[in-house]
Structure 1
Amino acid sequence: MNHDDLPKWSARAAAWAQDYHASLRDRPVRPAVIPGSIREALPETAPDQPEPMERIFDDFEAIVPGAMTHWQHPRFFAYFPSNASPASMLAEQLANAISAQCMLWQTSPAATEIEERMIQWLRAAMGLPAGVTGTIHDSATTATLSAVLTMRERALGWAGLAEGLSGQPRLRIYASDQTHSSIDKAVRLAGIGQDNLVKVKTRDDLSMDPDALATAIAADRAAGYVPAGVVFCIGGTSVGAIDRIEDCLPVVEAEDLYTHVDAAWAGSAMICPEFQPLWAGAERCDSIVFNPHKWLGVQFDCSVQFLRDPAPQIRTLGLRPDYLETLESSDINDFNEWTVPLGRRFRALKLWFVLRAYGLEGLRARLRNHVAWVGELADRLRDIPELEIVTEPRLALFSFAHRAGDAATEALIQKVNADGRVYLTQTRHKGRFVIRMTAGSFDCTRDDVMMVNTVLREMLA
């Protein structure tokens, strides 16, 4: 295949994509496949000679779609959605064609400056103050690792970068038990260690207890440890827990600790002014991460990190050898210095397309619908005698369980997912096995959300 063949096959791929999305409601959300069966459908070795694109595309159609979990399915209610709006798909096609390595301004002037402007657009839309800047990562895991590494070096006076961690004081990071496992991964990879991630007690509303935070910090200082930072949770993955950041900030600010807000899922909702009080105080934090690929229709991967002051993170992560210098100017951003990888994709392009193609009001309408429909669904499930709402809706997420106990709840979710019309996932809350329900697919409708009620009633009949 060469460039002359590309228009034909791009057109076929676009037509296939249109048919695929149009047919998703007719497909089970998850495939009924046996582990290893896809691998066995492929030859054990690569071909020595080129194969015709017709055969390759035919094999794709025969093997791949029927063996995928369909994340773009409008009744995908598991985990959190990973959306791909049509505008985002188009932008990715163009970014793939350009295929730039956007590590430096000089390797990607348009990519760098569009990224700067997209951060500005989102900052304003989400009610954050002027002066907040940021960058785009692949996922929230990388953004959180970047923030935790910055916590580490700031607490050590940036000695760890040169001297290593051997002989340094023992650092402590604080978060509630509702935070995502990416926080645990970050403290492990940063060399701080799992035992030094202090899970602070939460209040009845699942928010971090500021008194418990103050007590933990005081105890650590008395033991000779060095508190380094606090991670707040806005919309926890398990059941949507939300820390009351403003309640904890007096403690944090008195201790001069670096702060990071994990709003990977719920952050998208902050483009709606009525939801912004949920993260009051976030504007005073040092770092915030949210994933437009979860709820704004921007294709995976695209994770935005806002920074009140980027200098500490650049000092932690930046490295500029001679061969990466931009000789023409020093008044530029080389975003590779803001994150872990040197290589960077042109992720800002899909943000630019999506924000323009649907507008903030169009995106807000989708988010508001999802929140309203999930609330309505929870009310319908309250009327099913066998079911109990375990955690109330937080934005577009709630959890429920079978009143007969964990075994019955587990049997129910397996039965629902085997049916194929909807896809739900589970978690544990206060030791109890519960089913999560969250809506956020770009093309889902009220009828799609209410299908959960229909399926559950049939499964329990």
Structure 2
Amino acid sequence: MPIADSSAGDLPPEAFRTAAHAAVDWIAEYLEQSAHYPVRSRVQPGDIRAMLPAHPPAQGEPLDAMLQDFHATILPGITHWNHPAFFAYFANSASYPGILGELLTAGLNANGMLWITSPAVTELEQVTLDWLRQLMGLGDGWFGQITDTASVSTFYALAAARERAGYDVRTKGMTARPELPRLRVYCSEHAHSSIDKAVIALGIGHENLVKIPADDQFRMRADALAAAIADDVAAGFKPIAVVPCIGTTSTTSVDPVVEAVRIAREYGCWVHVDAAYGGVAAIVPELRYLLDGVDGADSLVVNPHKWLFTPMDCSVFYTRDPHTVKQAFALLPEYLVTSTPDETINLMDYGIQLGRRFRALKLWMVLRAFGREGLAERIRRHCELAREFAGMVHFEGGWELTAPVTLSLVCFRLVPPGADEDTIARVNAAIMERVNARGHAYLSHTKVAGRYTLRLAIGNIRTDRSHVDVAWRELRGAAAAVQRAE
């Protein structure tokens, strides 16, 4: 007997239209006026949870009530990454075309695990990533796929490196195998922690990630890399991968990729280039040199959700050896067998995920909306703003730059006269906390050669000189207040 209850389906479309229009209007207004919000959330731990019911509703609630609660309960707990004075970590932003693509993706709710489950998901992803390859000036022969984050992209690269090493870890595992040597992976001492997590997750072991010392520009030293690999081979280890970086997290330094590739090739190592932040800068013609040597690598990660105005999450993993990546991951149970031609690409074969979101749509719309020249101009302007801010720091007494300004990140700190490193760290931590607490700008910190350092990263599509000026004014005011209190 058919179910007579008409409430068993979805909500009425008119209810959705009304709420969706209200949400889109709010998003447009929010992005236009995002600078009016305090950048960092001011709630205390547990505040948001305390405002939420402890039990789910028994009866459905209207969408407008949820939107009201969004404003009253959720927004106070949001740190506004879309704020033009968000300068912490690596600043990012969601542009209008990217948001539109995300909305359409949610509406379609397609799963691109197989080509046949939505051909457009696979084919648009292939075309869009080839566009991005061309924009960055890379050569032919790269196979791309979209993952959620650089951490997963790097995991895939190191899994392929382990596969290429030839010990059939996929079938036999790594435990209780006396014939299996200890595998080694090499990266800069300034490399991102995603590499650490990948070697842990892949069973390679954290002890077998070798951090190579950097030079005075915070770049991985090629001579130290060559020496470390040679010593490991002599000691019976098996080097499998080298991970140079284009835009390290702390300072955006650029490792010598050409030399890293040359050294790695002598030992049969996979080369994975971590360009999660810096890679898209090669869209700017005068910055294309940043990717010198990358065409000789085996894989590369770039993150459009960092500096290409695409909403989270959208990381791009490129490889010149998709066959090995597929060997590491492909598995075909009977319920996924299809009658499509052999040359059809099923993206599920190139990673651990079966289900795959239609992430390419938002990136495709961003690339189309701004074009090569528009993207280059925005990235170029961010680099110019960083140099302008660095000039403010350089010419202001008592402040110093702690790393070269390579792209759109400035590393700097206040150095009170006669202060030791502990005092400098305490003073700068207090300055940062005061600035962040006031809500007009948001910065983060790192340690560079053991020295506590403030970071101002520019990457928001709406950031202009006025927002940089606000940050500098806030920093100077905070410095004066902290020094008076010392």
TM-score, normalised via structure 2 length: 0.93
Contact 1:244 1:279 in 2 (8 A): no
In the alignment, which of 212, 216, 223 is matched to residue 200 of structure 1?
Answer: 212
Matches within 5 A, 1:222-241: 222-241=234-253
Contact 2:19 2:64 in 1 (8 A): no
> 1:7 corresponds to which letter in structure 2?
R
What's the counterpart of residue 420 of structure 2?
none
What's the counterpart of residue 484 of structure 2?
none
Inter-partner Cα distance in structure 2 for 1:388 and 1:209: 25
In the alignment, which of 364, 387, 392 is matched to residue 376 of structure 2?
Answer: 364
Corresponding residue SS for 1:18: helix
Inter-partner Cα distance in structure 1 for 2:340 and 2:381: 49
Cα distance, 1:53 vs structure 2: 1.9
Contact 2:190 2:248 in 1 (8 A): yes
Contact 1:175 1:232 in 2 (8 A): yes
What's the counterpart of residue 100 of structure 1?
110
Cα distance, 1:424 vs structure 2: 0.2
- Structure 2: stretches of 5+ with no match in the other structure: 1-10, 417-423, 481-486
Inter-partner Cα distance in structure 2 for 1:251 and 1:20: 50
Contact 1:158 1:316 in 2 (8 A): no
1:306-341, Cα deviation, whole Å (9 max, x unpaired):
111211111101112222122131111111111221
Q: Does 1:302 align with 2:314?
A: yes
Inter-partner Cα distance in structure 2 for 1:254 and 1:407: 46
Corresponding residue SS for 1:391: coil
What's the counterpart of residue 298 of structure 2?
286
In the alignment, which of 377, 383, 408 is matched to residue 427 of structure 2?
Answer: 408
Inter-partner Cα distance in structure 2 for 1:55 and 1:124: 46
Inter-partner Cα distance in structure 1 for 2:18 and 2:456: 41
What's the counterpart of residue 385 of structure 1?
397
What's the counterpart of residue 197 of structure 2?
185
What's the counterpart of residue 432 of structure 1?
451
In the alignment, which of 135, 139, 143 is matched to residue 125 of structure 1?
Answer: 135
What's the counterpart of residue 59 of structure 2?
49
Contact 2:15 2:63 in 1 (8 A): no
Cα distance, 1:158 vs structure 2: 4.9
What's the counterpart of residue 8 of structure 2?
none
Contact 2:445 2:452 in 1 (8 A): yes
What's the counterpart of residue 33 of structure 1?
43
> 2:170 corresponds to which letter in structure 1?
L
In the alignment, which of 446, 459, 462 is matched to residue 443 of structure 1?
Answer: 462
Corresponding residue SS for 1:175: strand
What's the counterpart of residue 323 of structure 2?
311
Inter-partner Cα distance in structure 2 for 1:163 and 1:31: 48
Cα distance, 1:386 vs structure 2: 2.4
Inter-partner Cα distance in structure 1 for 2:33 and 2:286: 35
> 1:381 corresponds to which letter in structure 2?
V
Q: Does 1:348 align with 2:357?
A: no
Q: Does 1:165 align with 2:174?
A: yes
Corresponding residue SS for 2:255: coil
Corresponding residue SS for 1:107: coil
Count of residue correspondences: 460
What's the counterpart of residue 458 of structure 1?
477
What's the counterpart of residue 274 of structure 1?
286
Contact 2:222 2:256 in 1 (8 A): no
Corresponding residue SS for 2:104: helix
Corresponding residue SS for 2:90: coil
What's the counterpart of residue 74 of structure 1?
84
Corresponding residue SS for 1:369: helix
Contact 1:174 1:200 in 2 (8 A): yes
What's the counterpart of residue 227 of structure 2?
215
Inter-partner Cα distance in structure 2 for 1:339 and 1:82: 26
Contact 2:147 2:153 in 1 (8 A): yes
Corresponding residue SS for 1:312: helix
Inter-partner Cα distance in structure 1 for 2:275 and 2:286: 16
1:69-108, Cα deviation, whole Å (9 max, x unpaired):
0010011000112321000000110010000111110111
- 161-170 or 138-147, which deviates more: 161-170
Inter-partner Cα distance in structure 2 for 1:436 and 1:30: 16
Contact 1:83 1:442 in 2 (8 A): yes
Inter-partner Cα distance in structure 1 for 2:287 and 2:90: 19
Inter-partner Cα distance in structure 2 for 1:51 and 1:94: 24
Cα distance, 1:2 vs structure 2: 3.2
> 1:271 corresponds to which letter in structure 2?
I
What's the counterpart of residue 27 of structure 2?
17
> 1:459 corresponds to which letter in structure 2?
A
1:9-41, Cα deviation, whole Å (9 max, x unpaired):
110110111121122111110121111111000
- Structure 1: stretches of 5+ with no match in the other structure: none
Contact 1:76 1:441 in 2 (8 A): yes
Inter-partner Cα distance in structure 2 for 1:281 and 1:6: 51
Corresponding residue SS for 1:393: coil
Inter-partner Cα distance in structure 1 for 2:63 and 2:129: 40
- Give identity over the alignment, percent: 40
Inter-partner Cα distance in structure 2 for 1:448 and 1:248: 38
Q: CA RMSD in A?
A: 1.2
Cα distance, 1:343 vs structure 2: 1.2
Cα distance, 1:228 vs structure 2: 0.6
Inter-partner Cα distance in structure 2 for 1:204 and 1:459: 30
Inter-partner Cα distance in structure 2 for 1:447 and 1:194: 44
Q: Does 1:147 align with 2:157?
A: yes
Contact 1:30 1:69 in 2 (8 A): yes
Contact 1:317 1:337 in 2 (8 A): yes
Inter-partner Cα distance in structure 1 for 2:173 and 2:13: 49
Contact 1:142 1:340 in 2 (8 A): no
Inter-partner Cα distance in structure 2 for 1:129 and 1:309: 14
Inter-partner Cα distance in structure 1 for 2:343 and 2:291: 33
